[in-house]
Structure 1
Amino acid sequence: MTRTLPPRRLLAVAAALALVGGPIDAMAGNGPHRKATLDGSEPACPLGTFLCPPRPYNYAMCRPNAMLEFYDPTLSRDSSLRDTSNTYVRATHVDSSDQTVYHLSGNVRMDRADQRLQADTIDYNDDTTDYDARGNVRYQDAGQLMASTHVRGNNDASTGTADDVRYQMLDSRGNGVARRAQMFDADRTLYTRATYSTCDVGDRLWEFRGGTISINKETGRGVARNATFRVGKVPLLYLPWFSFPVDNRRMTGFLQPTFGHTSRSGYMLSTPYYLNLAPNYDATLDPRIYTTRGFLLDTEFRYLTAGSSGIIDVQYLPHDHGPTDLDTTTDTKGTNRYRYTIKDSTHLWESWNFSTSIDRTSDNNFLYDFGNQLGGAPVYLLTSTAQIAGGGKWWNASVGGTAYQNMNPFLTDASLPYRQLPYANFNVDLPLNRWLEFGMTNQFVAFRKPGFVEGGREDIEPWIAADFGNQAWFVRPRAAWRYTAYQLRNGYQNYGYFGLLGSGTSTPFTQSSPSRSLPIVSVDSGLVFDRDTSLFGKDYTQTLEPRLYYLYVPYRDQNNLPLFDTSMMSFDYWQLFSTNQFSGADRQMNANNLTAAITTRLLDDGGVERLSASFGQIRYFTPQKVQAPNGANTSAPATDWSGSAYVAQLDLQLSDRWKLGSSYQWNPNTRHNDMAMLQVQGRLGQDGVVNFAYRYRSGLMEQYSVSAVYPLSDRWRLIGAWTYAEPVRGVVNPLKGTIEALAGVEYDSCCVTLRLVDRSYVNQGYYGVGPSPTPGRTNLRDNAVMFEVVFKGLGSTGGKVDPLLRRDILGYQ
C-alpha cells in the first residue's frame, strides 16, 4: 500500500533519527580541510608548476561498495527539496482508525527527497509527534547512513533514542557503531560506547573507541571521554578527554606527529597541538624532543583583525646539552638557544600600510643544527625588514630598513650584505595621453657594514616613454636621465672595495661625495606575423615575431664609486633588452648596442602555447668599459667584443604528459659555452612524475638532477631525488659530488598514509671565489630520516615530510 502524507509528518521523524552532523570528521590543523570525492578524483598538478598543492584525502582505494548493506546509490543527493516534497509511505499494513495514531507494519518504507526510512514497524502519533520505529531500522540521506534495532522519540522536540546503532558518513567516510544514541535537540547528540574510523566497514586499520561521544552541531565540536586510539587491535593511546570537529571549522586538537633522526641533533619526535582560540586568531604548540640536544618548544601564534594580520613564531631550547662543537666558530653547548619570527601587516590610513618581517636566532649555528633537515637548500642568512608604504593612482612610496644575520657558522659577518638603515623610495608613473607617459624612480639608502666603507646613496632617474603600434607592430622609444650621488662617512680614505686597506685588496676611495650623471636612451620595436599551419596532423596558429632593440648610454668613469649592493647579473634572454647588466645603482653600464631577436610560437585551437622558440644577440658598436671590480684593481679590464653570446631558448609541450624547457648561450668571443639548461618533465600514470634537469654556467656551476614519483600500484609509490655537481675550475671549495640524495616510499590505503624518507644533503659550508674558512669546515654533510603516519580524517592533509617532497620533486602531490 502506498500513501502520501503532509511534508511535515513521518519523514521529519527520519530526520530526527539521523546521526547529527559528520562525527569526528577531522582535526582541521593550520589550514582549511580539503575533501576528495569518494572515488579520489582530483586533477593532476599542471606540468611545470613550481609548487603543487597537497593532495586532498584520497578514498579511491576504499572498497567501492564498502557501505552499509542497504545503501541505495540512486537515491537523490539534493537535501534542499525536503521542505517542499511529499512523503511517500509503503507498508504491507496501515492502521489509522482513530486518525491520530498511525500503525505501519510489514516492510515499511518512507521516502522524501533525499531521505529514506525503513523498518519492520513504525508507530506515529500525529497529535504529540511521538514516534516508535522497531525492527531493522534503516535510514539514508544525502550525507549519511544509519541502522538501529529500535528508535523512539518526539519529532517536535527533536529528541530521540536509538539502540544498537551503526552509522556511516557518505562524504568523509567516517563510520562506526554505538550502543545507544540520544538526541537532546536538533543540535546535540550523545553516543554511548561508540567507535569511529574512516577505514572500510569491517576492515579497521585504526579506530577510536569512546565511553561517550557528544556532538554539538551549533558549535561544530565533539567531545570523546574515556577514549582509546587503536591501531589494528592494539590500544595505542588513552585519552580521558578528546575534542574534535564535526564540520570543516578549525578545531583544537593534535596534528600529525613526525619521527626522525639527524646526525646533528639525534632522534627527533614532534607532536604538534593546534589551538583554535577564536575565529580571528589561533596558535600551534609543537613540542619536540631531540635526543642529542634536549627539549625544544616551537610556538606559533596567528592573528587577523580589521586592520592587521600576522604571525609570531618562537622556538626555544633551554640549556643545549649537545656535544662540544669544534667544527664551527661558535660552541653552543650549555647555552639557551632560540629563534623568533615576527611577520605583520597593518593598515595605517588611506593607502598607507606598515609591514615587518623580523627573523633572528640566538646563534649562527641554529639552522645548521635544527633548521635544514626538511628545509631544502641550506639557509646562509636571515633577513629582517620593516617599512611603511603607500601609493596612489600614479605614484607609490616607501620608507624602511633591512638588516641581516649570518647563518653560516663557518664564515664571519663580513660575508653579509650591507644593512640598509634606512631606505626610502618614491616612484612616479603618469600617463600624459594614450601613447605618452612620464615617470621617475627615486631612491635614498644609508648603507651600514662594520669594517667597510659606509655612507648614503641617492639615485634619481626621471624618464619619458612613448608606445606606438597595434597587434601587428610596436615602436617604443624611451629617454631617461640617471643621477647617482654618495655621501661617504668619515674615514672613507681607509677603505677600498674589499674592506680595510690593511689587507691590500684594493685601492682607497678618494672623494667623500662622488657622483655620476648620464642619459639612457632606448628604442624597442617589433613585428608580429601569424599563419595557420599543421604539425603531426594537428592544426596550429604559428607566429613569427622579429624584434630590434637599440640602447645608448655614454661612458662615465665609476671607479671611485663604492659597491654597496651591486653585482653583475647573470646573462640571459631578457638581458638582451635590459638597460643595465648590473643589479643595484652603483654601476651603470655604457652602451651603444643593437639587439636583434626573433621568436616563434605554436598555439593550438584552444589558445594554449605548445611551442615557443627564441633566438637573439646584442651587437656592440663601442667597447664595454664599465666592469665590476676585480681583485686589487679598481675594475676589470674593458671588453671590446663585437657581439654578446648568442642566446636561444625553447619551451615545448606538444603533449599534455610531457614538457621540455631549455636555454643555451654560446660566446663567439671565447668560443665557449657560457650557459646551458635542459629540463624535462613527464607524467607517469595518474599520479606519478619524472623530472630531469641539467644546469651549466661557465665558471660557476655544472649540475645534474633527477627526481621521480613512481607508482608501483594504487597503494605504493617510490620517491626519489638526486642532485650531483661537477667541480668547477677557479671556484674555491666548490660544491662537488652528490649535493642531495633523497629516497623514500609512500603507502596509501583507504584510511592511512605512511611516508618514510631518507635524505643525505650538504647542510652548511662555504663555496665561492673568495677566501675560504678553516680547511675542513666546508660543505659538511648531514643525514635525516623521517617517518610520518597520516590517519585520514584525524588531521591535516600533510605533515612535515609532504612540503619537503613538494619542494624537491617538481610536480609532486
Structure 2
Amino acid sequence: MPTRMPLTPSRLPARYACRLLLITCCTASTSPLVQAETPLLNWYPRALLSDAELAGLPSFCSGRYLPNQLQPLSDGRLEAESEQAFVDRNGNAEFTGSVSMRREDYVLKSDSARWDASLRQAEFDSDVSFFNDEVTVHSDHARFQEQPNATQSATSSRSELVLESANYALPARHMRGTATSMTTRSEGTIELNEATVTWCEPGQDDWRIAASHIYLDQQQGIGSAWNTRLEVMDIPVFYIPYYRFPIDDRRTTGFLDPSFSLGGNAGLEELKLPFYLNLASNLDATIAPHYFNQRGWLWESQLRHKTRWLGDGELNYAYLNQDATDERERWLINYQQSGTLGPHWQHRWVYNHVSDNDYLADLNSSTAIDRTTHLPRLGQLRYQNDTWRFELLAEGFQTIDDTIDLTDRPYKRLPQATLDYQQRYDRWRVSSRLQGSRFEREDSATINGSEQTLTGFASLDGRRLVSDNAIAWRFEQPYSYIQPEASYRYRYYRLSSPDSFDYNTVVNYGVPRYSLDSGLFFERPLHWFDTIQTQTLEPRLFWVKSPYQSGQDTIPAFDTKVTSVSYDSLFQGDRFIGADRLADLEQVSLGITSRIIDQRGGEWLRFSLGRVYFGDRRQVQLDSDEVNDSHATSSTLAEVEWRPGRHWRLNQTLEWDVYGDYARQRRLGVDYVPLSNRMLNLSVNKVQSENSDSGTIETDLYQADINAFWALSDRWALTGRVLKDMKNYPEGERRPTSSVLESLAGFEYQNCCWRLQVLYKESSPTADDSASYSTEKSQSLMFSIQLKGLSTLGGGTDATVRNSIKGYSRRQYHDY
C-alpha cells in the first residue's frame, strides 16, 4: 500500500495524489492504464488492421471502427495517473501532463484536470477523451460533477459528465457524430444538444441526421429527438419535429424509422410514418399513416400477439376513406395465426379480404398477405406422430383477377377431413388414407361488369369420400431395388346443384391399382481429361396397371389437375394430381440415367432418357369433351445437366412427340456465376402443340431470356435483362406491341456511406382478350439511394432486379 502522506500542500506523484479524488478507494498503478494510443474515435485505417480485421472489408472502405475492450473495475474504485499532481490541505488537487483516470467500465483522459473537493467537481481541459466498450468521445473540455447520496454508500452516488464540442462514435454500430454538448449521467441517460449522426466514414459527410436535442435513456432503451432533419450534402431534405425511437433490442413504444420514396420528377411518391406500441410482453401493435401521391392517406395497422395455446398471431388492417383518383373507399384485412396445441398438434389460420381487385397493385401493401390471383382463407388443424396423421381443413378464396371466368375459379373446401396411416414392418409398408370433403363455389358473380351464372354441369357442388389403401414390399441391395405395390382406391360422391333444387345424385366406385418399381445401379471408373471420375448407369423400370372406370366424366374436377410433364413424372404412376380422376393405366415406364461424379463427390454430368409405353388407349380424361388418347407411347423425355466448371451450369429438357415428329417442350438454360456478385443467365423456352382440327403444329410459347448482374468492382455493377418473344403470330392473333416483352438496364454504385441504383425498364404487355394488340407500352425510370445504416430513398429497384435476375436474391452487399 502507498505510504500515508501529510495533508500539506506539496507536489506528489500522481498515483498518491489520486487518493484525494476517490469516491471509495484507489489502487496504485505503476504502468500506464492504456498501453498504446487508440486512434481518434476508434477509427483504424486499413494500414493498422490485421489480416483477420481486413477480411470482408470492401476495397471502397478506407478502414473500420474497432470497439474498446476494457476490463471493468469492481467496488467503485478509481485509478488515476498523471505526470504531476498538486494537492492542498482541503483536498483540492490539480493534475497536469497525460492525465488518465479509470473507473468502473470507462476511461477519461486529458492534458490537465482539477478537482474541487467542496463542490465535488472535476474539470478536464484540452484534448479530452472518454471511452468505454460502447462509445468513444473526444472534446475540448469536460466537467464531472458528483452528488453523493446521504442515505446510501458512496458507490451509489449520482454523477454527471458534460463534454463540450464533442465528437463521438459508437464503434460497434459504425456510427459517429457531433454535439455542442454531451451529458452522460450515472443513471444511464445521455443528452446531446445540436447533435448530428452518420454512418459515413470520418471525413466523408455525404449525409447525416441532425437534431436540436437528443435524449437517450439506456435503462428504458428509448431515445427521443427534437427538430430532426436528414441532410444530404449539407442540404436538408426531410424534417420531423419530434421523433421517439428504440436504442437497443428491447421493444419500446415510439416512432420507427420513417420510409419514403421519390418519383422521377423528384416529387414525393410515398411517405410512411410507423408508430410502435409495446402493449405487453406478448402483445404489440404498429400504426402507420401511409401517404400515396394522387391517392391520399392509407391508414395501416398491425397487431401481433403470442399465446401459450394459440401460438403466434398477426392482424393487418388498412383503410383509405376515399381514393383521390377514383373516389372509392378501399381497405384490406389480413389475419394469420399458427401454433402448437401439444406435442403432436398444430393449427394454422389465414384470412384475406381486399375491397377491390386492384388494391394490391395500386396501394402496394407491405403486409404479409399472399399476393396471388386467389387470396386464401383457411383454417387447419393437424395431428401427427410416427404412424398417424389427421388434418381438418376449411379453405376458400377471394379471386382478384377479372380475367378468370367463374367456371375456372377454385372450389371451396368446407370442410375437408383427412386421416392417414403409415407403418413399416421390416420390408413391408402399409399405408391408408380416409378423406371426406365438401366442395362448393359461387354460382353467380359480376366479372368485368357483366353478370355470370353457372348452370348445368358447371354448377355442381359435391361431397366426396376418398379411401385409398396400399401395401408395398421393398427389397434393396447396393446395386438394385425392387418394390411391388398393390392398392385399392374408392370414391363416393353426392352431387347437387343450386341450379336445380331437386337434383341429387350419388356416384361411387372402387378401382384397384398394381405397380412394380425396380432399378439397377452400375458404376465404373472413368478417365476424363487426365482425371479419374466415376460414371454410373441407372436403368429403371416401372410397371403400373389399373382398370378403366366409366362414369367419371359426370364428376367435376373439384381439386384435380393434369400432371405436368417431366422426366420424374414418367414414374409417378398417374396422369392426374388430385382425387377426382382415377386414371385407367396399363403402362410401362422405361428410363435410364447416367451420371459422371468427380473426385470430390460432385455431380459433373447427369443425363436422363425415358418414355412410357401404353397397353391401351387412355379413356379417362379431365374434361368430358376431351378425346381419347390412343397413342401407344408417350413423348420421349430427355434431361441433361452439365457442370463443366465450378461456375457453369447448363441444363436442357426436351419432350419429343414421336407421332407428330416435333418437340412439344424445349427448354435450355445456361447459368454462369463466377463470384457471389456476378451472375449471367440465358434461357430459351419453346412450347408447341398440334392443332386437332388442321393437324398443323402451332407454337404456344417461344421466349428467350438473358439477364445479368455483373459487379465490375466493389463499387460498380451493371444490371441488364432482355425478355424477347420469338413467336410468329398468325394473322388476327393477339400479340404484344413489341417483340421485346421486357427490357431492363441499369447500374449501381456504392461506397462505404451510400449505394445508388438507377434502372430503366420497358415492358410490352399483352392486352385483354378483346384487343389484338397491347394498348400501351410502359416505360419507367427508377432509382434508389440507400443511406447505409439508415434507410433507402426511392424504392422498388432491389425488388425489380430480384424478380428479373436469377440468383440476385443471393447477392451480397455491404451494409451496417
Report TM bin, short chain: 0.7 to 0.9
Instruction: Give the distance between the partners of 2:725 and 2:367, measured in 1 at CA.
Output: 21
Larger RCO: 1 or 2 (CA < 8 Å, sep 6+): 1
Per the alignment, residue 443 of structure 1 pairs with: 435
Instruction: Give the distance between the partners of 2:569 and 2:504, measured in 1 at CA.
Output: 32
Equivalent runs, 1:243-262 vs 2, <5 Å? 243-249=244-250, 252-260=255-263
* CA gap 1:300/1:800 in 2 versus in 1, 3 angstroms: farther
* CA gap 1:256/1:334 in 2 versus in 1, 3 angstroms: closer
Equivalent runs, 1:714-725 vs 2, <5 Å? 714-725=714-725
SS at match of 2:407: helix
* CA gap 1:481/1:260 in 2 versus in 1, 3 angstroms: farther
**C-alpha contact (below 8 Å) 1:530/1:544 kept by paired residues:** yes
Per the alignment, residue 148 of structure 1 pairs with: 139
The answer as to 2:492 corresponding to 1:489 is: no
Per the alignment, residue 402 of structure 2 pairs with: 409
* CA gap 1:406/1:425 in 2 versus in 1, 3 angstroms: same
Per the alignment, residue 487 of structure 2 pairs with: 480
Per the alignment, residue 711 of structure 1 pairs with: 711
* CA gap 1:90/1:261 in 2 versus in 1, 3 angstroms: closer
SS at match of 2:506: coil
* CA gap 1:774/1:438 in 2 versus in 1, 3 angstroms: same
Instruction: Give the distance between the partners of 1:126 and 1:473, measured in 2 at CA.
Output: 91
* 97, 100, 111: which one aligns with 1:106: 97
* 576, 584, 588: which one aligns with 2:578: 584
The answer as to 2:224 corresponding to 1:226 is: no
TM-score when scaled to structure 1?
A: 0.78
Q: Which amino acid aligns with 2:321?
A: P
Q: Deviations over 1:196-240 (max 9, x none)?
A: 111122221111222222222223222222333212121223333
Instruction: Give the distance between the partners of 1:249 and 1:603, measured in 2 at CA.
Output: 51
SS at match of 2:60: coil
Distance apart, 1:554 and its partner CA: 1.9
Per the alignment, residue 165 of structure 1 pairs with: 166
* CA gap 1:269/1:482 in 2 versus in 1, 3 angstroms: same
**C-alpha contact (below 8 Å) 1:406/1:412 kept by paired residues:** no
Q: Which amino acid aligns with 1:623?
A: R
**C-alpha contact (below 8 Å) 1:559/1:635 kept by paired residues:** no
* 544, 549, 554: which one aligns with 1:556: 549
Q: Which amino acid aligns with 1:136?
A: D
Q: Give the % identical residues.
A: 23
Q: Deviations over 1:548-598 (max 9, x none)?
A: 222122222233333223232221011111021112122122222222223
Q: Deviations over 1:443-486 (max 9, x none)?
A: 22222132122211222101112232144432222211011121
Instruction: Give the distance between the partners of 1:794 and 1:516, measured in 2 at CA.
Output: 65
**C-alpha contact (below 8 Å) 1:410/1:778 kept by paired residues:** no
Instruction: Give the distance between the partners of 2:111 and 2:514, measured in 1 at CA.
Output: 91
Q: Which amino acid aligns with 1:458?
A: L
Distance apart, 1:606 and its partner CA: 4.7
SS at match of 2:573: coil
**C-alpha contact (below 8 Å) 1:681/1:691 kept by paired residues:** yes
**C-alpha contact (below 8 Å) 1:367/1:379 kept by paired residues:** no
Q: Deviations over 1:620-645 (max 9, x none)?
A: 2333332333xxx644123232x322
* 502, 508, 521: which one aligns with 1:528: 521
Q: CA RMSD in A?
A: 4.5
Instruction: Give the distance between the partners of 1:130 and 1:436, measured in 2 at CA.
Output: 86
Per the alignment, residue 344 of structure 2 pairs with: 351
Distance apart, 1:123 and its partner CA: 6.5
Per the alignment, residue 64 of structure 1 pairs with: 63
Per the alignment, residue 786 of structure 2 pairs with: 790
Per the alignment, residue 7 of structure 2 pairs with: none
Per the alignment, residue 151 of structure 2 pairs with: none
Instruction: Give the distance between the partners of 1:137 and 1:626, measured in 2 at CA.
Output: 88
Distance apart, 1:646 and its partner CA: 2.1
**C-alpha contact (below 8 Å) 1:694/1:705 kept by paired residues:** yes
Per the alignment, residue 661 of structure 2 pairs with: 671
* CA gap 1:738/1:310 in 2 versus in 1, 3 angstroms: farther
Distance apart, 1:12 and its partner CA: 13
Instruction: Give the distance between the partners of 2:293 and 2:793, measured in 1 at CA.
Output: 28
Q: Deviations over 1:277-306 (max 9, x none)?
A: 355444444544444444433333333333
Distance apart, 1:490 and its partner CA: 5.0
* 383, 400, 411: which one aligns with 2:393: 400
Distance apart, 1:615 and its partner CA: 2.3
**C-alpha contact (below 8 Å) 2:686/2:701 kept by paired residues:** yes
**C-alpha contact (below 8 Å) 1:268/1:288 kept by paired residues:** no
Per the alignment, residue 641 of structure 2 pairs with: 651
Instruction: Give the distance between the partners of 1:444 and 1:406, measured in 2 at CA.
Output: 25
TM-score when scaled to structure 2?
A: 0.78
Q: Deviations over 1:321-354 (max 9, x none)?
A: 43xxxxxxxxxx4331223222222445663343
**C-alpha contact (below 8 Å) 1:2/1:91 kept by paired residues:** yes
Q: Which amino acid aligns with 2:327?
A: G
| Runs (5+) with no aligned partner, structure 2 | 1-12, 19-24, 43-51, 147-153, 444-453, 690-699, 812-816
* 103, 112, 130: which one aligns with 1:121: 112
* 637, 640, 663: which one aligns with 2:631: 640
Per the alignment, residue 546 of structure 1 pairs with: 539
SS at match of 2:505: coil
Instruction: Give the distance between the partners of 1:135 and 1:706, measured in 2 at CA.
Output: 62
* CA gap 1:597/1:463 in 2 versus in 1, 3 angstroms: same
Equivalent runs, 1:3-14 vs 2, <5 Å? none
The answer as to 2:362 corresponding to 1:363 is: no
* 498, 508, 517: which one aligns with 1:515: 508
Instruction: Give the distance between the partners of 2:539 and 2:298, measured in 1 at CA.
Output: 60
- Between structure 1 and structure 2, the one with the greater Rg is 2
Distance apart, 1:377 and its partner CA: 13
**C-alpha contact (below 8 Å) 2:591/2:610 kept by paired residues:** yes
Equivalent runs, 1:671-690 vs 2, <5 Å? 671-683=661-673, 687-690=677-680
**C-alpha contact (below 8 Å) 2:166/2:178 kept by paired residues:** yes
The answer as to 2:128 corresponding to 1:137 is: yes
Instruction: Give the distance between the partners of 1:316 and 1:284, measured in 2 at CA.
Output: 14
Instruction: Give the distance between the partners of 2:330 and 2:494, measured in 1 at CA.
Output: 40
Per the alignment, residue 215 of structure 1 pairs with: 216
Instruction: Give the distance between the partners of 2:638 and 2:273, measured in 1 at CA.
Output: 49
* 609, 615, 629: which one aligns with 2:609: 615
Q: Deviations over 1:21-61 (max 9, x none)?
A: 99xxxxxxxxxxxxxx98693xxxxxxxxxxxxxxxx8763
Instruction: Give the distance between the partners of 1:38 and 1:282, measured in 2 at CA.
Output: 39
Instruction: Give the distance between the partners of 1:124 and 1:600, measured in 2 at CA.
Output: 85
Per the alignment, residue 571 of structure 1 pairs with: 565
**C-alpha contact (below 8 Å) 1:62/1:199 kept by paired residues:** no
The answer as to 2:780 corresponding to 1:755 is: no
Instruction: Give the distance between the partners of 1:627 and 1:732, measured in 2 at CA.
Output: 28
SS at match of 1:218: coil
The answer as to 2:619 corresponding to 1:625 is: yes
SS at match of 1:257: strand
Instruction: Give the distance between the partners of 1:207 and 1:338, measured in 2 at CA.
Output: 37
* CA gap 1:778/1:480 in 2 versus in 1, 3 angstroms: farther
Instruction: Give the distance between the partners of 2:384 and 2:482, measured in 1 at CA.
Output: 30
Instruction: Give the distance between the partners of 1:96 and 1:256, measured in 2 at CA.
Output: 57
Q: Which amino acid aligns with 2:508?
A: S
* CA gap 1:376/1:128 in 2 versus in 1, 3 angstroms: closer
Q: Which amino acid aligns with 1:565?
A: D
* CA gap 1:609/1:112 in 2 versus in 1, 3 angstroms: farther
**C-alpha contact (below 8 Å) 2:331/2:354 kept by paired residues:** yes
* CA gap 1:97/1:536 in 2 versus in 1, 3 angstroms: farther
Per the alignment, residue 686 of structure 2 pairs with: 696
SS at match of 1:513: strand
SS at match of 2:802: helix
Instruction: Give the distance between the partners of 2:534 and 2:78, measured in 1 at CA.
Output: 59
Instruction: Give the distance between the partners of 2:489 and 2:793, measured in 1 at CA.
Output: 52
Distance apart, 1:523 and its partner CA: 1.8
Q: Which amino acid aligns with 1:675?
A: Q
How many residue pairs are counted as aligned between the two chains?
732
Distance apart, 1:488 and its partner CA: 1.0
